Amino acid sequence: MPLGDHLRELRRRIMWAALGIIVGAVAGWLLYDPLLGAMTAPLNVITERGGEAALNFGTVGSAFDLKIQVSIFLGLFIASPWWIGQLWMFVTPGLTRMERVYSLSFILSGAVLFVAGGAMAWWILPHAVEMLTSFTPSMALNLMDARTYFSFFMRVILAFGCAFLLPVIMVGLNFLGIVSGRTYLKAWRWAVLGAFVFAAFANPLPDAWSMIAMAAPICTLYFGAVGISFLRDRRVAKRRAADAATDL
């Protein structure tokens, strides 16, 4: 396919993906209030231990801006099967019927892992807020900028959602014949190091145990993708050997 056609196809997929996220953002707008309550629930821990916490909206329009940001954030999760599917269809155009079945499994797996990564971060964040605010002096008030608080919340969740897409990308590259399972296995040390470096930067908690707990699932997913890639490589090798024997 010529470069111009590739660029037009990319533009078309991006537009469709953006449309899906917009539709998801509309649903996010309707679910804004319960989501906001869930995201502010960790602050209740501060009041339970006798402290005071409040979110501050510094400008007239900051509450409206925040609602748009949170709606788009929720839209990314609601529309994740759609935009992951658009990305996959751009990478693998002209699929056969069997390949379309494989693609559907990739899309569903990607959506599940993206949500699972976000869910893991969601589980950790209340503990992070509780620990980090425990250092506030008893005579002080936890007056937080609302946009900063929610941006912190959303960045961590999105970071882990994207990190959990790693095995889908790895297996996809293997199915396209770009990277073999043996190549992935040779790079396992760098992959483990990268997982721990990512966890160190993305982890909102200051202790090493939480970093290990966050890096371990990423390493597990990496080695799971390596195993799937090896199985696929073995199947392809057997098929090629059978075809060669038939030709003889």
Domain edges within the chain: 1-104+122-157, 165-248
Note if the pTM is more than 0.85. Answer: no
Give the per-residue pLDDT at 206.
66
Q: How many Å apart are CA 153 and CA 129, to the nearest integer?
A: 10
- Token digits for 207? 């202790």
- Token digits for 45? 């821990």
The H-assigned helical ranges of 31-145 are 32-40, 44-48, 62-78, 80-91, 97-133
Give the per-residue pLDDT at 142.
78
Q: How many Å apart are CA 125 and CA 156, to the nearest integer?
A: 8
Torsion of CA 92, 95, 99, 103, to 10 degrees: 50
Q: How many Å apart are CA 155 and CA 5, to the nearest integer?
A: 34
Reported confidence tier of residue 101, pLDDT bands at 50, 70, 90? low
